[in-house]
Amino acid sequence: MADQLTFAQENRERIQAVENSFGPLSKSLSQLNRVLIGEGRLIKQSRRGPQRKDFFLFNDVLVYGSIILHGRWHKKQKIIPLEDIQLQDLEDGLRMRNQWLIRTPRKSFYVAAESYEEKQAWIEHIEDCQNRLLQSGGRIPTSKFAITWIPDQASAICMRCSDRFTMTIRRHHCRKCGFVVCDACSKKRAVIKHIHPTKRLRVCDICQPNILKMEAEAQEINRLRGDSTGKSGSEEDDLEEFSEEDTEEDQVEDHDTSRWMNCEMGSRSTYVYLKPEHVRH
């Protein structure tokens, strides 16, 4: 009993430290029965190349952010419910080892660990937490995931019209297929509900007619069934918004750290697993 009380206090302090590291404008991470399972640094593949991010695994969400001030502080907090995550193990590539794919409804991306053992630990513990949530009667897992964007450097030409990218012909991404396309081939906009229920997103000329066709078919089915297409506000609150071109997290920002609370959590370059026996079933 005393051991559990000690862990509960340590867990609260760890969670508060993570929350403080993101600054005063971040979302609160302190919730009843939430446990910090592990933390570590991974290489995340963004559209502009690989970047190191600090990741924090809780028993119900995965949190990550960009690193500033040698890992003592973080920015661009992202919170992903574990029910909205699908993992896919990947073989080592020529440029990236110990990698795997994290799929979510709004964004899918590649990450890589320092070692094979760390990679396996991350995957095992995320899946274990997901299984515990399902066993406890948590929210039904999502079935729709965002496409993984093809990195900018993977193509020197538009993947639709084959025009070469230049200083004036810039790269964009279709939100439906993830292809690297030019502005002329991606002027259309469409709603992709699992990414954003109302916002019209950039899509290429090939995908836009298919999206409209699927929308029309879905509306006809709903009309015949008499179904409502409304969504609850709580679902919206659980989803983190990502910028249209996903560049905000790559930009350097100035932070007044004197306004932030002191945080005792040091930076960690390797995965740290925290007392899994205390996670509640």
pTM of the shown model = 0.72
Asked if residues 99 and 92 have their Cβ atoms less than 8 Å apart, the reply is yes
Q: Please check whether residues 66 and 183 belong to one and the same domain.
A: no
Instruction: Mark whether 11 and 92 lie in a shared domain.
Output: yes
How confident is the model at residue 135, as a pLDDT? 87
Can you tell me the distance from the alpha carbon of 247 to that of 262, in angstroms, rounded to the nearest whole number?
29
Domain identity same for 59 and 175: no
pLDDT of residue 269: 63
Is 186 in the same domain as 80?
no
Q: How far apart are CA 100 and CA 17, in angstroms?
A: 28
| Cβ atoms < 10 Å from Cβ of 279 | 17
CATH of the domain at 87: 2.30.29.30
**How many CB atoms are closer than 10 A to CB 239?**
18
The whole-angstrom separation of Cα 115 and Cα 141 is: 29
Strand partners of residue 180: 173
Same domain, 50 and 163: no
Whether 46 and 171 map to the same domain: the answer is no
With CA atoms as reference, report the closest residue to 107 among 132, 130, 136, 85.
85
8 and 113 co-located in one domain = yes
73 & 210 share domain: no
pLDDT at 2 (0 to 100): 66
Write out the residue range of the structural domain in which residue 166 sits: 159-234
Q: What is the C-alpha separation between 269 and 54, in angstroms, rounded?
A: 9
Distance CA 161, CA 23 (A): 44
Question: What is the DSSP pairing of strand 200-203 with strand 188-191?
Answer: antiparallel
Q: Which helix (H) or strand (E) holds 125?
A: helix 116-135
pLDDT in tens, the chain (281 residues): 667 788 889 999 999 999 999 998 889 999 999 999 999 999 998 767 788 999 999 999 999 999 987 667 899 999 999 999 999 998 887 777 899 999 998 889 999 999 999 999 999 999 999 999 988 876 777 768 888 888 787 789 999 999 999 999 999 999 989 899 999 999 999 998 888 888 899 999 999 999 898 888 888 888 888 765 444 333 333 334 444 444 433 333 333 333 333 334 344 567 888 865 555 44
In a domain, 242, yes or no: no
Taking CA atoms, 279 is separated from 59, 211, 218, 259, 268, in Å, by 7, 42, 41, 33, 22
Residues forming beta bridges with residue 58, ordered by sequence position: 36
The total domain count for the chain is 2
